[in-house]
Amino acid sequence: MKDQHIIGILEGGPLARLSEGELAAVREHAAGCAGCGRAVEAARVAAALLRERPASTVEPSPFFQTRVLAALRERRAEEETPALSRLWRAAGALVSSMAAAVALLAVFTVAAPNFGLADEGEVVTTASDFYSTEALFVPAETADAEVDYDQVFQAVYAPESGGSDE
């Protein structure tokens, strides 16, 4: 059975720093206790190993400074790359939404007038003059080329139905 007091001395500090009194106590006890004897022996070997292990004496190579600065530049470039790509993505989104808006406008401008409005007898004709005044009065089946100046004149200046004072 190991004496906890001896173990406490062995583990309480570096073996090299034990006082004469502590060393004497350890020696005296270890002489009569096989378990503690082995513990003292192991502690002695462990202390010798630690003393013999100086820090590895690696000297910096002449290129070390250059390597560190190169690694620093690389790391900074890596950190900047995500910011650029974020900017690029944002610009892409803006361009895409603008393109979508233009396309939508084009669709409404070119195609929408023909959707469901060109029933027989309606006064809507072609897309090019959809918003013109005469378009409101020229029959749908009449092509642009067939509308002559008189028709336009009449359409524009014709008295409004039901609104006349005559």
Site for another protein, rule CB under 8 A: 10-17, 38-39, 41-61, 64-65, 67-69, 71-73, 75
Q: Which is nearer to another protein, 55 or 145 (CB)?
A: 55
Minimum CB–partner distance for residue 24 and another protein (Å): 18
Tokens of 46: 């462990």
Q: Which is nearer to another protein, 61 or 164 (CB)?
A: 61
Minimum CB–partner distance for residue 40 and another protein (Å): 9
Side chain identity at residue 124, one-letter code:
V
The span from the CA of 29 to the CA of 17, in Å, is 19
Minimum CB–partner distance for residue 29 and another protein (Å): 16
Minimum CB–partner distance for residue 16 and another protein (Å): 7
Q: Which is nearer to another protein, 23 or 111 (CB)?
A: 23
Q: Are 155 and 139 in contact (CB under 8 A)?
A: no
Q: Which is nearer to another protein, 27 or 89 (CB)?
A: 27
The span from the CA of 86 to the CA of 97, in Å, is 17
Query: Of 134, 113, 137, 112, whose CA–CA distance to 123 is shortest?
Result: 137
The span from the CA of 155 to the CA of 137, in Å, is 6
